[in-house]
Structure 1
Amino acid sequence: MILCITHSRDFYNIDIFFEYLKSKNIPYFRLNSDNINNNQKISISENGFELTDESGNTVHSEEITAVWHRKSWRIDIPEELDESFRKIFLKEYSTLRYNVLTALENVPWINPFENENKIDGNKMLQLNIAQKHGLTVPKTIFSNDADKITAFFHKYCKGKMVAKLHGVISKSMGGEHLLSTNIIDEDSLENIADVEYCPMIFQPYIEKEYELRIVYLDEEFFTGKINNSENADWRIAQGNYFWSEYHLPENIKQNLTAMMKEMGLYLGAIDVIKGKDGQYYFLEVNPQGEWGMLQKDLNFPIAQRIADNLIKRMKTNE
């Protein structure tokens, strides 16, 4: 049985994945990460766990032979819960969820849980590993120090700098509730002192030809190009943007593969800019990044390939 960890509002990608498993007669269990709370019944012992979900479906850990960690969302807190108890509710259910997931560490995962957390939570580590494996990365500073950021601006940015959060408020590819990537120029630099309330990542603005969303899956690549050369982030810009299939140069594929292997990831959504200077600039990899638009618009069989990867590895693990 393949366990898919997702959230209660997930659809499309996950539906294709489940339909494909049905066609292969592979059993599966959907675990909504945001509902691992009082809506589910969970018991963990030294021999594993038993979980009954919000719909009354029950799974035992010994039945699970592979895991796709599709997405983890924040655990929902009941509205009726007293405000003074909310913090401990969230802490204890988060701990319970962590214990459930780590009880399965000996079966094949996409992606291994601890590897994914480490990489997703450290963009600077991502840049270091990417650079180590021959990828071009922008000059970067992650800081709350206005003086250091100002010095960085004048030394590297030629009058234009990108500021972005380490994380995002929403991972929606449609831009809903997404905090925009900000452009800093000489005029807005005077307000940079406010960064002490919210540390951000700063990089020189790259004049680009286009952006690439690359889905890496265990040495296989599915790459979409979007015709955005003017806006810092196409997800929140208004415009006539569309996806087209793109073939990466072999050396970029080799470098990305080496990077992903060192990170210990089977799957990741990678953002790359093709600069007007001809360089491919690695920006980041999101282990749980979105790719449904590539499956839908370009007919890439990504969900099916994820299933195939898990089926192959769980059979090898038997």
Structure 2
Amino acid sequence: MADSGTVLVLTGAFDPTADLVVEELNRRAVPVFRADTAWFPSRLALAAGLDGNGWHGTLATNHRSLDLATVRAVYYRRPTPCEFPASMPPEARAVAVAEARRGFGGILSALPARWLPPPGRAADAEYKPLQLRVAAECGLRVPRTLITNRPQEAREFADRICGPVVYKPFTPIRGTVDGQSMAVYATLLRPGDIGHPSIATTAHLFQEWVPKAYEVRLTAVGRRIFAAEIHATSVAARTDWRSDYDNLTYRVCSPPADVTAGVHRVLDRLGLPYGAFDFVVTPSGEWTFLEVNPNGQYGFVEQATGLPITAAVCDHLEGVTA
């Protein structure tokens, strides 16, 4: 049975994944209020009071108003930080940012609503060292991994692996260099790169290279699992498929029972209702966990395969039990 009320969608102006969810909720005649936290305080006003029955009040733009008491669920996708005037002195800006986070953000977190995902738990789960440990404890195979800022440790790790080693950034790294957009993806290291002095500048993550027959993007929504094989047809995509979407093909698949059970345990341990999991499947058919994104995109998989992931997300937000 579905709950009644409004779904609050918090995300940036350009978010194709959120667009899919909003479109489906509209089709279901579920009220939606979409906003970006960047609109606060100049384009989004908050007024909330506390009485014996919790917080009551409104979020309002120049065109729409949301009664906080009607919020049944919050889809916390990719909102951007609150924006303040460029003319504001740095000291005042720092205070305003902190107050907005604890006041405006605090009201949102105090809503007795279903969150996908809960922001605090999602933030914790984004730490790769944590998710790798939890995955291993939950019975999933994980690659041998080293995190270090010592070049000698990296060299010794590569010697122990006795095979290819890959470097991975902890977070997406994108920017502009000489006017061109650049991104850092997983990189197979050459022997001369291992132990490079630049490793000393910050933390680096190194893993053994796992032989690939193909990769799998497994999207879990509650207890529902949607898995698709990702087959790469270029050198770049075979190293990191995110670097070359044009040379990927997809096929729906069913994960082994032990992998499905491990995925559910990981989500339970991390306190997440949703996760976009990446696996490598070796030529012998063994599944190896790479990472889980607590708010990962899924639209490209749904578009290629027809897997009903948007419907599952909306079921969760709407309070529909499978």
**TM interval, short-chain normalised:** 0.7 to 0.9
CA distance in 2, matches of 1:154, 1:33: 48
CA distance in 2, matches of 1:125, 1:145: 21
Aligned to 1:109: 115
**Structure 1 length-normalised TM:** 0.85
Q: How does 1:65-214 map to 2 (within 5 A)?
A: 65-82=72-89, 85-104=92-111, 106-120=112-126, 122-156=127-161, 158-169=162-173, 177-191=182-196, 193-214=197-218
CA distance in 2, matches of 1:9, 1:78: 22
Aligned to 2:14: 9
Secondary structure at the aligned position of 1:56 is classed as coil
Q: Does 1:224 align with 2:228?
A: yes
Which of 42, 46, 51 is matched with 1:42 structurally?
Answer: 46
Q: Relative to 1, partners in 2 of residues 1:14 and 1:254: Cα closer, same or farther, differing over 3 Å?
A: same
Larger mean Cα displacement after TM superposition, 83-92 or 16-25: 83-92
Secondary structure at the aligned position of 2:232 is classed as coil
CA distance in 1, matches of 2:191, 2:62: 56
Aligned to 1:243: 250
Which residue identity is paired with 1:196?
A
1:214-241: CA deviation from partner (whole Å, max 9, x where unpaired): 1101121111221127432111147622
Unaligned 5+ runs, structure 2: 1-5, 175-180
Q: Does 1:57 align with 2:64?
A: yes
Which residue identity is paired with 2:158?
F
Q: Does 1:300 align with 2:303?
A: no
% identical equivalent positions? 22
Aligned to 2:294: 287
Question: Which structure's residues are more often strand, by fraction?
Answer: 2
Secondary structure at the aligned position of 1:39 is classed as coil
CA distance in 2, matches of 1:181, 1:78: 38
Q: Relative to 1, partners in 2 of residues 1:148 and 1:55: Cα closer, same or farther, differing over 3 Å?
A: farther
Contact 1:268-1:288 at 8 Å conserved across structures = yes
Q: Relative to 1, partners in 2 of residues 1:151 and 1:50: Cα closer, same or farther, differing over 3 Å?
A: farther
Equivalent pairs counted in the alignment come to: 304
Q: Relative to 1, partners in 2 of residues 1:61 and 1:196: Cα closer, same or farther, differing over 3 Å?
A: farther
Which residue identity is paired with 1:183?
L
Which residue identity is paired with 1:113?
P
Which residue identity is paired with 1:98?
G
Aligned to 2:177: none
**Structure 2 length-normalised TM:** 0.84
Contact 1:142-1:199 at 8 Å conserved across structures = yes
CA distance in 2, matches of 1:97, 1:178: 33
1:253-281: CA deviation from partner (whole Å, max 9, x where unpaired): 12211221222111111111112343211
